[in-house]
């Protein structure tokens, strides 16, 4: 049993694939294949294996699944069309697309091909139904292409930056995290209130892995635990599984179903828009000054956070929601009436929409969201 301090964490090198593309994927069982018996390691030793990993080139198929107990996307979209959308201030098509897109990020199974070479060359290809999404970054340029809109968004990366990623393109940041990046975020953000132990040796994508189990030491969170499968040879996180309290199946899982540790071909990291593709230029995003923090206020321009770790709550001011969004008939079908507003409840995430139009969301109980709203 080990409780880690932030000083001891030198998390993953800059090999991690950026958070690029909106989609999820197929769950890969942690204990697939024959039994595995690796040399015993303590949690501290496995953490050291992760922090000292030097793998910075690989390719493979990444899969993700989310089982949060949400309604079927197509069924909800159908309800929105049958009920109309004019009363909400949005068209039927806009209402359907807005709610369905939100649900897609929180449910279903999807797959992506990932290519990484060093800390600056990244390519992610995602297929969703008949659409194709491609994100490419090579240290000089970052591109995001969506075949459904036939639009390619381009960001020129400043010369003084050694590497970067197209994670901010077209609002697609954090829509999909690969196992190394998700592990990095979880380990650093949850560290002060987390107990870390070693689980069962297993195989993921044909490779033997140690299993790190993160268990919250706080009350009020919907999460039961997080399991991170760490490659026994390279220290590369190959799979992350998030379990919700009271649910047998994983609520969220992202992992490699196949992986090749050789260097991908260099031409994969070049992108040229095809004929007929609309190109949109976007400025390189400027990071906020180090240490700057804006306390959550109702009139803030963007989302703010309340609390930390497992109990983090994201708050959105009323002004950030589309006009009359709270009156959307599709949203009404997805939520239930609670004191002070309406609640979208899943096994791992609660979203509280207040009567005055604010939004509070987190992997916490509804009473925590209501308390946060009342404190504002």
Residue 244 reports pLDDT greater than 70: yes
Rounded CA separation 178/226 (Å): 15
- Please count the other Cβ atoms lying within 10 Å of the Cβ belonging to residue 307: 15
Contact 152, 159 (CB under 8 A): no
Which residue from 361, 267, 349, 372 is spatially nearest to 66, judged by alpha carbons? Answer: 349
Comparison of pLDDT for 16 and 172, the residue scoring more: 172
Mean pLDDT in the chain?
A: 76
Q: Which domain holds residue 204?
A: 6-70+106-281
Scanning the chain, the segments in alpha helix (DSSP H) are 43-51, 73-83, 92-105, 179-190, 329-334, 366-375
Contact 176, 21 (CB under 8 A): yes
Rounded CA separation 240/261 (Å): 19
The pLDDT tens digits for 183-210 are: 676 667 666 788 999 999 999 999 999 9
Residue 287 burial (10 A CB sphere; 0-12, 13-18, 19+): exposed
- Whether 148 is in a domain gets the answer yes
The most distant pair of C-alpha atoms in the chain lies apart, rounded to whole Å, by: 63
- Whether 84 is in a domain gets the answer no
The domain that holds 41 is classified in CATH as 2.50.20.10
DSSP characters over 6-22: GGG-----TTSPPS---
What's the pLDDT at 68?
80
The pLDDT tens digits for 97-108 are: 555 555 565 667
Cα within 13 Å of Cα(67), Cβ side = 14
Supply the pTM of this predicted model: 0.73
288 band by pLDDT with thresholds 50, 70 and 90: low
What's the pLDDT at 132?
86
**Whether residue 264 sits in one domain with residue 307:** no
**Whether residue 149 sits in one domain with residue 293:** no
Please give the sequence-ordered ranges of beta strands (E in DSSP) within the chain, or none if there are none: 57-66, 108-117, 121-128, 131-137, 141-146, 151-156, 194-198, 202-204, 207-216, 223-231, 237-244, 252-260, 278-281, 304-306, 313-316, 336-338, 341-345, 350-354, 359-362
What's the pLDDT at 5?
30
What's the pLDDT at 126?
87
What's the pLDDT at 241?
93
- Whether 1 is in a domain gets the answer no
The domain that holds 366 is classified in CATH as 3.30.310
**Whether residue 185 sits in one domain with residue 65:** yes
What's the pLDDT at 193?
84
What's the pLDDT at 191?
67
Using CA atoms, how far residue 256 sits from 9, 27, 62, 309, 344, in Å, is 24, 9, 4, 26, 30
- Whether 86 is in a domain gets the answer no
- Whether 171 is in a domain gets the answer yes
Listed residues 281, 301, 333: the one ending a domain: 281
What's the pLDDT at 357?
87
Residue 85 reports pLDDT greater than 50: no
**Whether residue 328 sits in one domain with residue 258:** no
- Whether 83 is in a domain gets the answer no
**How open is the CA angle 216-221-226, to the nearest 5 degrees?**
45
Cα within 13 Å of Cα(54), Cβ side = 0
Contact 151, 278 (CB under 8 A): yes
- Whether 92 is in a domain gets the answer no
Which residue from 91, 68, 70 is spatially nearest to 80, judged by alpha carbons? Answer: 91
Contact 282, 152 (CB under 8 A): no
Rounded CA separation 371/354 (Å): 12
Listed residues 266, 281, 296: the one ending a domain: 281
**Whether residue 258 sits in one domain with residue 167:** yes
Task: Report the number of distinct structural domains present in the chain.
Answer: 2
**Whether residue 301 sits in one domain with residue 196:** no
**Whether residue 139 sits in one domain with residue 49:** yes
Residue 167 reports pLDDT greater than 80: no
Please give the span between the terminal C-alpha atoms of the chain, in angstroms, as a whole number. 39
**Whether residue 198 sits in one domain with residue 113:** yes
Using CA atoms, how far residue 178 sits from 24, 29, 111, 132, 253, in Å, is 10, 16, 11, 18, 10
For the segment 342-366, the average pLDDT, to the nearest whole number, is 91
**How open is the CA angle 297-299-302, to the nearest 5 degrees?**
80
Listed residues 249, 281, 313: the one ending a domain: 281
Is residue 112 classed as helix, strand or coil in its secondary structure? strand
**Whether residue 148 sits in one domain with residue 176:** yes
**Whether residue 182 sits in one domain with residue 253:** yes
What's the pLDDT at 262?
96
**Whether residue 59 sits in one domain with residue 124:** yes
- Whether 79 is in a domain gets the answer no
**Whether residue 337 sits in one domain with residue 242:** no
């Amino acid at each position: 049993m080990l409780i880690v301090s932030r000083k001891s964490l030198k998390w993953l090198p800059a090999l991690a694939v950026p958070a690029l593309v909106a989609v999820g994927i197929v769950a890969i069982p942690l204990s697939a294949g024959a039994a595995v018996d690796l040399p015993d390691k303590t949690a501290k030793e496995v953490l050291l294996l992760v922090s000292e990993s030097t793998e910075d080139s690989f390719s493979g198929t990444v899969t993700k699944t989310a089982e949060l107990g949400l309604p079927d996307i197509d069924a909800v979209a159908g309800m929105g069309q049958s009920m109309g959308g004019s009363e909400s201030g949005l068209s039927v098509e806009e209402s359907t697309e807005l709610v369905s897109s939100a649900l897609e990020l929180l449910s279903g199974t999807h797959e992506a091909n990932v290519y990484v070479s060093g800390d600056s060359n990244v390519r992610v290809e995602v297929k969703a139904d008949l659409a194709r999404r491609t994100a490419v970054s090579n240290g000089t340029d970052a591109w995001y292409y969506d075949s459904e809109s036939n639009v390619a968004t381009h960001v020129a990366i400043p010369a003084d930056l050694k590497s970067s990623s197209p994670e901010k393109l077209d609002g697609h940041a954090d829509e999909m995290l690969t196992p190394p990046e998700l592990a990095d975020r979880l380990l650093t953000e949850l560290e002060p209130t987390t107990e870390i132990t070693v689980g069962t040796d297993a195989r993921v994508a044909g490779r033997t892995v140690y299993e790190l189990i993160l268990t919250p030491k706080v009350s009020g969170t919907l999460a039961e635990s997080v399991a991170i499968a760490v490659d026994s040879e390279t220290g590369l996180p190959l799979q992350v599984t998030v379990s919700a309290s009271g649910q047998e199946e994983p609520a969220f899982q992202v992992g490699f179903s196949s992986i090749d540790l050789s260097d991908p071909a260099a031409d994969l990291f070049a992108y040229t828009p095809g004929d007929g593709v609309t190109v949109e230029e976007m400025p390189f995003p400027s990071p906020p000054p180090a240490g700057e923090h804006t306390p959550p206020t109702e009139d803030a321009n963007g989302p703010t956070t309340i609390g930390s770790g497992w109990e983090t709550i994201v708050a959105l001011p009323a002004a950030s929601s589309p006009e009359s969004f709270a009156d959307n008939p599709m949203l009404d079908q997805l939520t239930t009436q609670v004191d002070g507003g309406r609640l979208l409840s899943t096994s791992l995430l609660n979203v509280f929409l207040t009567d005055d139009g604010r939004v509070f969301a987190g992997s916490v109980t509804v009473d925590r969201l209501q308390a946060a709203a009342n404190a504002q």
